């Protein structure tokens, strides 16, 4: 069931530590209409939603979802504004939420801000960060197996496959072997334990990123089924948009961006071609808006976590 939440009458400022990535570019990409209804698929700490509400008129509306239950507490900062609704939900539940709100096929814009948020990374107890010692959790929501559970039960070949596919880790085999050897001696329960295993297993440390980055990313993606959720959500978002509505997606690594880029490109060309020799009638459903946008030097100086962001924008055709 959806809960109504609202903002105080003045401008709403998200918590200080939360810096929405590419905020002005997102707002421009959404081509905001004062009376439009917008879906924020990753509420996080509310930066994008608050900025949207500031630009909407009295008849405008923002629907926000997030699979992380902690986002519900942040949504209380908007609790005085009847134009705003929030629900804890996964990407794959997007269409269900929009239909329940009576806005199927009527959305003026949909925003995805993918990946893990700064507050999630900064909370050691969530286990997302290799820079903070905490339990090996990494779950976006409190249900399902933790990273510790996954590492304890997954076969070596499957760990290797995960690291190679989701982390693009060239030392995947060595790392998988080291994890299995380490868990025989002692269960891996903390982020620092896993980092120590990686430190020993990776012979040549990369200079541009921390040596644990790819492994932590891969495990997080696997246990949260992030790429499957994204693949399920993008077509739903397109179906929920009104003609002329905008789809805006911020991704933070090549795996996400590849999925987004392929869907937008295919829909702009008329969809996947039918297998030969079946006839194909290409009917584009999207128009690409500009090129991919990346943060400038000033934004990356202010917010280092923005440095890998890529923004793509498309408009639904009539």
Provide the residue ranges of all domains of the chain, joining segments of one domain with +: 3-119+226-316, 126-224
CA 98 – CA 101 distance, rounded (Å):
5
* Fold match flag (3-119+226-316 vs 126-224): no
Tell which CATH architecture fits domain 3-119+226-316: 3-Layer(aba) Sandwich (3.40)
- Residue 10 clears pLDDT 90, i.e. is over it: no
The 10 Å Cβ neighbour count of residue 225 is: 16
- Going along the chain, which residue ranges are E strands? 3-5, 37-40, 61-66, 84-88, 107-113, 241-251, 286-288, 310-316
Question: Is residue 18 scored above 90 in pLDDT?
Answer: no
Write the pLDDT tens digit of every residue in 118-146.
Answer: 888 888 999 999 999 999 999 999 889 99
pLDDT surpassing 80 at residue 276: no
pLDDT band at 236 (very low <50, low <70, confident <90, very high): very high
Q: Is 302 exposed, middle or buried (0-12, 13-18, 19+ CB in 10 A)?
A: exposed
Which residues make beta-bridge pairs with 77?
A: none
| Confidence band for 8, pLDDT divided at 50, 70 and 90 | very low
Is pLDDT above 70 for 262?
yes
Q: Identify the residue with better confidence: 42 or 5.
A: 42
User: What pLDDT is recorded for position 105?
Assistant: 98
User: Percent of the chain beyond pLDDT 90?
Assistant: 82
Fold of 126-224: DNA polymerase; domain 1 (1.10.150)
What are 147's two structure tokens? 């990273």
* Average pLDDT of every residue of the chain: 91
Can you give the pTM of this predicted structure?
Answer: 0.89
Predicted local confidence at residue 279, as pLDDT:
58
CA nearest neighbour of 246 among 23, 3, 30, 26: 30
Give the integer Cα–Cα distance in Å for 300 and 306: 6
* Other CB atoms within 10 Å distance of the CB of residue 162: 21
Residue 270 has pLDDT above 60, yes or no: yes
Residues 266/235, Cβ–Cβ less than 8 Å: no
Q: How many residues does the chain have?
A: 318
Distance CA 135, CA 190 (A): 4
């Amino acid at each position: 069931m959806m809960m109504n939440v609202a903002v105080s009458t003045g401008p709403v400022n998200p918590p200080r530590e939360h810096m929405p990535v590419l905020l002005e570019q997102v707002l421009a990409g959404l081509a905001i209409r004062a009376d439009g209804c917008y879906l924020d698929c990753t509420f996080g700490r509310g930066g994008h939603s608050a900025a949207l509400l500031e630009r909407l008129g009295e008849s405008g509306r923002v629907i926000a979802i997030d699979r992380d239950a902690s986002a519900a507490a942040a949504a209380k900062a908007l609790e005085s504004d009847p134009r705003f609704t929030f629900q804890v939900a996964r990407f794959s539940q997007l269409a269900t939420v929009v239909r329940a709100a009576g806005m199927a096929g009527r959305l003026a814009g949909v925003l995805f801000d993918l990946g893990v948020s700064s507050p999630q990374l900064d909370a050691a107890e969530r286990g997302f960060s290799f820079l903070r010692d905490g339990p090996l959790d990494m779950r976006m929501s409190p249900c399902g197996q933790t990273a510790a559970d996954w590492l304890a039960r997954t076969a070596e070949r499957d760990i290797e496959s995960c690291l190679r596919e989701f982390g693009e880790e060239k030392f995947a085999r060595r790392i998988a072997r080291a994890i299995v050897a380490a868990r025989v001696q002692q269960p891996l329960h903390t982020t620092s334990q896993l980092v120590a295993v990686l430190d020993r297993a990776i012979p040549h440390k990369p200079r541009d990123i921390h040596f644990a980055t790819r492994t932590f990313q891969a495990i997080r993606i696997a246990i949260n089924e992030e790429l499957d959720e994204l693949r399920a959500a993008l077509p739903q978002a397109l179906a929920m948009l009104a003609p002329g509505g905008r789809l805006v997606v911020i991704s933070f690594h090549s795996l996400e961006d590849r999925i987004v880029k392929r869907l937008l490109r295919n829909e702009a060309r008329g969809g996947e071609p039918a297998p030969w020799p079946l006839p194909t009638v290409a009917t584009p459903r999207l128009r690409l808006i500009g090129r991919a946008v990346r943060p400038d030097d000033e934004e990356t100086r202010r917010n280092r976590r923005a440095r890998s962001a890529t923004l793509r924008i498309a408009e639904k055709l009539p």
